[in-house]
Structure 1
């Protein structure tokens, strides 16, 4: 009689919980010296920068809201936001999301991670969520630090908007926080592109640079005379669209389009990274990422998304040409001048007037008499405008000349060119001392796309 030996049935081991994987990925990220250094810098450097710059006699007037840093504590966070949208936020996404998958290729730890987690899907989710959490913490640090620095150094005074209007401190606080929230959406889009680059390129250093290189390329593209439909379809447009919160009336069209486009890029790039990551063969130890062949798989869908977005915006909005024309510029300039004239009146302790009493209007031309009237559109440094207003209680009218530098994104800088007693000097003399002349030089914004749709 013989005994038959039977093996016990193998009990399947369930994958590790996603929460444990997320905690593990957060520990790995926060243990890196560069992440810790960024955390320290994002939570401390903006406050120090705003406090130091606000106390200087020479302010960054070439930056939006820079000339108001000494007058309102809410201007500093917007100056920091402008700088962060250009360089800091794309760099943050490069160092966090652009390396979250590539680090496993460099260290050769994919096999150990798969054995521990036992689910490629949960590995991807854990890494993506860890990159999202760290990116959020860094961005929130930049916002809160700059706000604290501005309020401590200058105070909670009203802010002058891009239409010359005075924004109460409470409304300014809400608008500043909303502006940072809007900028967070394209930051997530660049983070998603970083995830995609990290999956595609493996241990190659180019995967780490993908978001930063994309941001630099888009900045160069934004300087070109592109049609407004193409400009708004770029994932970086929301980095500029937040300015519409500080105009009167607000400019919701560009803001909504910028947020939607950035969100679409974030979803599309994350979905592509997820799909390509699950298709990777982790049993091949010689495989380093998915290779150059997979670049077309990752780049082509994003290019198709850009083309589709341009087509939809062109078909459903009033987007045409550069979006900058004489009528929009004259209306924006006249509105800003009327508000700033009242601000100057209060500084000089003159009787207050209303915009209705001033009946301000502006006449602009581009390129002088050498350019036809029909060609007065588009960005350029050759805009010349004459502002006319009515003086209450007198038959005479006042006039002032401005040279305008209009950029392709709709921002313009109006530089006063006389008369001297109105906009000819940087400061005006008041009964309490010299004060900044709000009419000497000021920023404005033209709405490139209005919310009115075709048909």
Structure 2
């Protein structure tokens, strides 16, 4: 994709382009496309039918199984070293609630960030790499509608990942370690009636804090023909911001960084939660997500698609 004035023009192979509208469509696909261009159902089927989506959720489902296997082998080693970290991983084996919480703690640091960048940043440049993006814009599809369908499915996929992770973790942890309620490192308990709503709130907060990374990846995707550039660029930005967030010299400006409050979801699971930092995290996350989404729409509307 390059910056030029004027409109898109040109032709690409018909078979691949018709498949971009409706996989497996026949010769009449163009006629139906005019009546109902780029439906969300079609986009959902295309994105969820891709191999990268299968691998992403496969990795998500495999993570708790890997943890259980690691704990089973690790029980044979000496656990007297490790301090607080060892104590946390010991608690993970005390029941389904603790196991799911440790799983969320591990995945939210990188895996969920990577998936948010993948789902939101890959969709637009992948169309360019398939040589179907120009066709979609030559046909009667508004650019805003094209971007909206990509963004909605990407955000929905990210939300699905944040729901599947703790739910699958609870199931695996319950089978492996029993169904005891949450016990924090200082010995306080949260019964299931308290824990489940708090866990849902914590995952909702994590989802909101992932939105800026998804928006950054989405914006980068409108500036590049390479999916890896959009996904990798967003992950690198996240890592860089996390490094800068460790610098006390950047106070109070680092409070506005997208990931500054990313760990405050743990406050929702405290016996006496403090909601102040979570409120700040939601506010700044929405500000960054809206800003980069607007930049993506602005960029895409002014760009000729030459891929």
Structure-1-length-normalised TM-score: 0.54
Find the aligned partners of 2:86 and 2:151 in 1 and give their Cα distance: 34
- Tell me what 2:289 maps to: 266
Q: Which residue of 2 aligns with 1:49?
A: 66
Q: Are 2:98 and 2:181, in contact at CA under 8 Å, matched by a contact in 1?
A: no
Deviation at 1:269, TM superposition (A): 1.2
Cα gap change, 1:256/1:63 in structure 2, threshold over 3 Å: closer, same or farther? farther
CA contact (8 A) 1:54 1:76 kept: no
* Aligned twin of 1:225: 248
Which range moved further: 166-175 or 121-130?
Answer: 166-175
Residue of structure 2 aligned with 1:133, choices 145, 156, 163? 156
In structure 2, the residue matched to 1:34 is 52
What CA distance in whole angstroms lies between the structure 2 residues aligned with 1:127 and 1:144? 26
* Partner in structure 2 of residue 149 of structure 1: 172
Please give the secondary structure, in 2, of the residue aligned with 1:264: helix
Aligned to 1:111: 134
Deviates more, 1:60-69 or 1:72-81: 60-69
Q: Greater share of strand residues, 1 or 2?
A: 1
Q: How does 1:192-271 map to 2 (within 5 A)?
A: 192-203=215-226, 205-226=228-249, 229-271=252-294
Distance in 1, Cα, partners of 2:43 & 2:87: 38
Structure 2 partner of 1:82: 105
TM-superposition CA deviations, 1:245-273 (whole Å, max 9, x none): 23343121111111111111111111111
TM-score, normalising length from structure 2?
A: 0.78
Instruction: Give 5+ residue unaligned stretches, structure 1.
Output: 1-12, 289-455
Instruction: State the 1:164 CA deviation.
Output: 4.2
The structure showing larger relative contact order (alpha-carbon pairs under 8 Å, at least 6 residues apart) is 2
Within 1, Cα distance between the matches of 2:63 and 2:174?
A: 12
Question: How far, CA to CA, are the matches of 1:32 and 1:147 in structure 2?
Answer: 27
Check the 8 A contact 1:21/1:117 in 2, yes or no.
Answer: no
Tell me the CA shift for residue 115 of structure 1: 3.4
Q: Deviations over 1:143-170 (max 9, x none)?
A: 2111211222222223223664222232
Aligned pair in 2 of structure 1 residues 63, 30: CA closer, same or farther (>3 Å)?
A: farther
Cα distance in 2 for residues equivalent to 1:158 and 1:132: 31
Instruction: Tell me the secondary structure at the aligned position of residue 85 of structure 2.
Output: coil
Distance 1:16 1:239 in 2: 43
Distance in 2, matches of 1:63 and 1:271, equals: 44
Spell out the pairing of 1:342-421 with structure 2 (5 A cutoff).
none
CA distance in 2, matches of 1:262, 1:133: 17
Partner of 2:182: 159
- Structure number with the higher helix fraction is 2
For 2:300 and 2:121, the matched residues in 1 are separated by 14
- In the TM superposition, residue 15 of structure 1 has moved relative to its aligned partner by 6.1
1:92 shift after superposition = 0.8
User: Distance in 1 between the 2:162 and 2:50 partners?
Assistant: 18
More displaced, 82-91 or 167-176?
Answer: 167-176
CA offset at residue 79 of structure 1? 1.4
**Alignment correspondent of 2:147:** 124
Provide the C-alpha distance between the structure 2 equivalents of 1:169 and 1:52, rounded to a whole number of angstroms.
26
Q: Following superposition of structure 1 onto structure 2, how do residues 319-358 of structure 1 map, counting pairs within 5 Å?
A: none
Aligned residue-pair number: 270
In the other structure, the counterpart of 1:396 is: none
TM-fit CA distance, 1:100: 0.9
Check the 8 A contact 1:80/1:146 in 2, yes or no. Answer: yes
Q: Select the residue among 89, 96, 107 that pairs with 1:66.
A: 89
1:236 CA displacement? 1.3
CA displacement at 1:276 relative to structure 2: 1.2
The Cα of 1:14 is off from its aligned counterpart by 10
